């Protein structure tokens, strides 16, 4: 069995996002890029399947800031090979374009399952799993919290609202969007990441095409942080002063006694 | 170009979601603006059609196995609906169903996908939309002229009354042959057991997010919760790490809560979290990042470190 896990870099949301001078995108110059957290869930589930029934796990990414680190980390965690697709274009690739190029690349590969992260924080274009499934013409399921491999099929568990889950048996090849792996993503020790780096097992491959720009028929008018109007009243002072004020607020609503 | 608006009816355990009614209301408004019809797509549980009076047409498929949600079956049915009416716009909630079907439908129907939409209105013959990106840290205003659009819209932002109307829509059954060659089969639906705590019944909640940084640190929040005599709740990552059991989760895939006070520590306020708690009567948030989206819904906020604040609170609230 071969499992392909596409991974991508996203801006670290803990940091401030600045806009570029045209206001048409975030300013990518000073942004710190990190691995999309749901891709780590996807890789973990792939590795769990590999451990249970044996599989070749391949990670694939487009050439993005600090993506080598993410790919080597995946190898250190137990992925068998890593592919970097180069030349697709600079800057932000929309999910639609990512999906189109990945689908072209995948059509020249053999695979039983593609496991993606359920979403990425920079999406406006929808989710990769469904788009890929639609383009490849294979069944897909997203918001998945467990994959049980069978023969010629997998049984996936999807989470609906409120914790209700449904299970479906799906023929392979298929695409799965991973919400949460059956266990928390494993830790890759720095020493193993270094080892992977010096072994240099990263294969660079020309992407099957270039980005052609945003979808027609959708024009960005404005990109902006949410209005400050409805924002919280900020409590000033150090921790003791803030604690004092919070207790006062709760007391004023009759929720605690002073 | 068609002018019909299709709303996907989400239901679980025989109950139609609130978001569905919100979108029926919005869909009615848009269909009226464009002179098209409002079409409700109902898969499994055809008897629920009686609640869809806001629609002009209900396209339905019967079959108990559809009721539990099966992605490939729903996708085949939905594709059939959009191709057999004069559809221009498909509206689905940003739920599991919307996240799962929205983008695949867009790919197969050659439509523009818009996800995480928080506002939508007709502007003459065009559509104006606002989407959240970067987990709500930025908004994008968009003008949509694409002839086919699939929108997944965040739930809980629109009035649902507009979609809860009496009426007598035309009932049209989808040809079951559409489901002829599926490569997947629905197996079962399971409802989680409550596990003893009911965070939806608590008058106040002390809620922790990834900022708590480790299971051992939960003790700090537990002391504040104990002093108030209320349970701990948490965002999804805390649950996924196994630091607290699932029934403690607030949000889209957890519980919807509306306590008298919701105290959030180290929670960024991702859309999926806000969906579960934005209607709390009083929200006080502690987050070291002054631009965290949680402050958009909180009444009071502070950027002091939660590790400094929690002990101070425990001291003042304890006896
Ligand atoms: C289909 C789907 C369903 C989902 N369902 C849910 C759901 O039901 N509930 C849910 O919560 N999420 C859900 N999520 C996940 C959601 O997208 C976010 O990933 C999650 O809510 C983030 O949790 P968080 O705020 O705890 O973590 P982060 O987003 O990582 O935020 C941590 C915050 O802590 C702050 N912080 C760090 N250190 C400190 C400190 N010392 N003092 C103060 N503040 C600090 C940081 O500034 C940061 O803002 C779902 C996602 C998907 C795709
Ligand atoms: N995640 C994002 N980051 C920056 N810009 C974006 C993002 N998503 C959409 N846009 C902008 O919105 C435009 C329309 O996007 P699309 O929905 O892909 O057609 C793009 O050209 C981008 O400029």
CA B291 to chain centre: 23
Q: Which pLDDT value is given to residue A229?
A: 60
Residue B31 confidence class, pLDDT cut points 50, 70, 90: very high
Which of B158, B166, B155, B123 shows the shortest CA–CA distance to B26? Answer: B158
Sequence-separated (6 or more) residues with CB below 8 Å from residue A78: A47, A50, A57, A186
Q: Regarding predicted confidence, which is higher, B192 or A22?
A: A22
**Environment class of A137 (CB within 10 Å of its CB; exposed 0-12, middle 13-18, buried 19+):** exposed
Starting at the edge strand found earlier in the chain, the sheet holding A153-159 runs A202-206, A81-86, A56-62, A2-6, A113-117, A174-178, A140-149, A153-159, A165-171, B184-190
pLDDT in tens, A21-64: 888 889 988 889 999 999 999 999 999 999 999 999 999 999 99
Q: Which pLDDT value is given to residue B94?
A: 94
Sequence-separated (6 or more) residues with CB below 8 Å from residue B102: A126, A127, A130, B90, B92, B113, B115, B150, B151, B152
For residue B19, pLDDT over 70 is answered with yes
Mean pLDDT over residues B205-233, rounded? 97
Where do the domains of chain B lie? Answer: 4-179, 199-317
- Find the length of chain B: 319
Residue B196 confidence class, pLDDT cut points 50, 70, 90: confident
A137: alpha, beta or left, given left = phi > 0 and alpha = psi -120 to 50? left
Candidates A20, A124, A125: which one to mutate for ligand 2, based on the most atoms within 8 Å of Cβ? Answer: A124
How does DSSP classify residue B168? Answer: -
CATH architecture, domain A2-206:
3-Layer(aba) Sandwich (3.40)
State the Cα angle at B275 between B206 and B43, rounded to 5°.
135
Residue A236 confidence class, pLDDT cut points 50, 70, 90: very high
Residue A228 confidence class, pLDDT cut points 50, 70, 90: low
| Residue of A26, A131, A218 lying closest to B146 (CB–CB) | A218
Quickly name the fold that domain B4-179 has: Rossmann fold (3.40.50)
Mean pLDDT over residues A146-157, rounded? 96
**Separation of alpha carbons A81 and A60, rounded Å:** 9
Sequence-separated (6 or more) residues with CB below 8 Å from residue A174: A113, A114, A133, A138, A139, A140, A141, A154, B183, B184
Task: Tell me the pTM.
Answer: 0.91
Percent of chain A with pLDDT over 90: 78
Partner A, chain B 23-52, Cβ-Cβ below 8 Å: none
State the Cα angle at A96 between A211 and B85, rounded to 5°.
135
By C-alpha distance, the chain A residue nearest B135 is: A121
pLDDT in tens, B125-145: 899 999 999 988 899 999 999
Q: Which pLDDT value is given to residue B162?
A: 86
Cβ count near B278 (within 10 Å): 20
Token pair for residue B26? 């919005």
For residue B27, pLDDT over 70 is answered with yes
For residue A230, pLDDT over 80 is answered with no
- In the numeric block, the tokens 């957890």 are attached to B254
| Residue of A126, A179, A246 lying closest to B313 (CB–CB) | A246
CATH of B199-317, one of 3.40.50.720, 3.40.50.1220, 3.40.1010.20, 3.30.450.20: 3.40.50.1220
A138 to each of A166, B129, B182, B233, how far by Cα in Å? 20, 30, 10, 39
Mean pLDDT over residues A115-140, rounded? 91
**Separation of alpha carbons A33 and B132, rounded Å:** 19
Helix (H) or strand (E) holding B76: helix B71-84
Q: Is B93 on the interface with A (CB under 8 A)?
A: no
**Ligand 1: distance of its center to the CA of B269 in Å?**
6
With beta carbons less than 8 A apart as the criterion, state whether A135 and A96 touch.
no
For residue B67, pLDDT over 80 is answered with no
Q: Which pLDDT value is given to residue A90?
A: 76
Q: Which pLDDT value is given to residue B26?
A: 98
Residue A213 confidence class, pLDDT cut points 50, 70, 90: confident
Q: Which residues pair with B172 in a beta bridge?
A: B59
Question: Would you say the C-alpha torsion B303, B309, B312, B316 has a positive or negative sign?
Answer: positive
Percent of chain A with pLDDT over 70: 99
As annotated, the residues of chain A forming the CATH 3.40.50.620 domain(s) are 2-206
Q: With beta carbons under 8 A apart, name residues in chain B contacting A238.
A: 304, 308
Rg from Cα positions in chain B: 22
**Separation of alpha carbons A191 and B142, rounded Å:** 46
By C-alpha distance, the chain A residue nearest B315 is: A243
Q: What is the ipTM of this complex?
A: 0.88
Q: Which pLDDT value is given to residue B194?
A: 67
Q: Which pLDDT value is given to residue A14?
A: 83
With beta carbons less than 8 A apart as the criterion, state whether A107 and A136 touch.
yes
Mean pLDDT over residues A173-197, rounded? 95
Residue A257 confidence class, pLDDT cut points 50, 70, 90: confident
| Residue of A118, A217, A220 lying closest to B112 (CB–CB) | A217
For residue B294, pLDDT over 90 is answered with yes
Which of A79, A81, A73 shows the shortest CA–CA distance to A34? Answer: A73
For residue A92, pLDDT over 90 is answered with no
Mean pLDDT over residues B254-261, rounded? 95
pLDDT in tens, A93-102: 889 899 999 9
Q: Which pLDDT value is given to residue A214?
A: 72
């Amino acid at each position: 069995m071969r499992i392909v896990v596409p991974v991508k870099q996203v801006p670290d949301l803990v940091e401030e996002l600045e806009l570029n001078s045209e206001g048409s995108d975030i300013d990518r110059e000073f942004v710190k890029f990190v691995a999309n957290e749901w891709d780590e869930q996807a890789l973990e589930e792939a590795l769990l399947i590999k451990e249970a029934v044996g599989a070749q796990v391949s990670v694939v990414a487009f050439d993005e800031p600090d993506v080598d680190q993410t790919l080597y980390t995946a190898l250190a965690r137990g992925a068998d090979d890593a592919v970097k697709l180069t030349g697709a274009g600079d800057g932000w690739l929309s999910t639609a374009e990512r999906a189109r190029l990945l689908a072209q690349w995948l059509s020249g590969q053999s695979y039983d399952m593609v496991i993606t992260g359920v979403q990425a924080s920079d999406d406006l274009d929808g989710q990769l799993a469904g788009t890929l499934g639609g383009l490849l013409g294979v069944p897909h399921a997203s918001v998945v919290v467990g994959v049980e491999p069978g023969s010629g099929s997998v049984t996936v568990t999807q989470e609906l609202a409120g914790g209700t889950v449904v299970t479906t048996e799906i023929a392979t090849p298929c695409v799965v969007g991973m919400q949460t792996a059956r266990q928390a993503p494993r830790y890759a020790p720095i020493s193993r990441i270094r080892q992977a780096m010096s072994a240099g097992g990263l294969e660079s491959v020309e992407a099957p095409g270039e980005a052609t720009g945003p979808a027609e028929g959708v024009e960005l008018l404005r990109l902006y942080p949410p209005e400050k109007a409805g924002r919280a009243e900020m409590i000033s002072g150090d921790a003791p002063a803030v604690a004092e004020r919070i207790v006062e607020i709760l007391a004023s609503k009759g929720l605690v006694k002073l | 170009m068609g002018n019909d608006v299709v709303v996907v009816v989400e239901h679980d355990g025989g109950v139609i979601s609130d978001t569905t009614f919100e979108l029926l209301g919005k869909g009615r408004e848009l269909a009226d603006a464009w002179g098209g019809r409002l079409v409700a797509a109902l898969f499994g549980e055809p008897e629920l059609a009686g609640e869809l009076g806001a629609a002009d047409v209900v396209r339905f498929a019967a079959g108990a196995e559809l009721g539990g949600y099966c992605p490939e079956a729903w996708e085949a049915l939905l594709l059939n609906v959009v191709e057999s009416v004069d559809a221009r716009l498909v509206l689905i909630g940003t739920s599991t169903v919307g996240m799962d079907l929205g983008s695949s439908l867009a790919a197969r129907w050659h439509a523009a996908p818009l996800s995480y939409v928080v506002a939508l209105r007709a502007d003459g013959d065009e559509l104006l939309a606002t989407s959240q990106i970067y987990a709500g840290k930025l908004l994008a205003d968009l003008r949509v002229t694409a002839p086919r659009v699939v929108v997944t819209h965040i739930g809980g932002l629109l009035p649902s009354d507009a979609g809860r109307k009496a009426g007598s829509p035309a009932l049209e059954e989808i040809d079951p042959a559409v489901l002829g060659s599926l490569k997947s089969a629905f197996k079962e639906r399971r409802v989680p057991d409550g596990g003893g705590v009911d965070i939806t019944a608590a008058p106040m909640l002390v809620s922790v997010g990834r900022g708590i940084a480790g299971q051992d640190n939960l003790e700090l929040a537990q002391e504040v919760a104990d002093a108030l005599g209320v349970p701990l709740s948490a965002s999804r990552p805390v649950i996924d790490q196994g630091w607290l059991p699932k029934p403690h989760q607030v949000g889209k895939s957890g519980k919807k809560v509306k306590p008298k006070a919701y105290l959030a520590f180290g929670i960024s306020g991702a859309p999926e979290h806000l969906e579960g708690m934005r209607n709390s009567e009083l929200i006080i948030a502690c987050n070291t990042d002054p631009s965290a989206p949680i402050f958009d819904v909180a009444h009071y906020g502070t950027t002091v470190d939660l590790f400094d604040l929690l002990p101070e609170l425990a001291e003042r609230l304890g006896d």
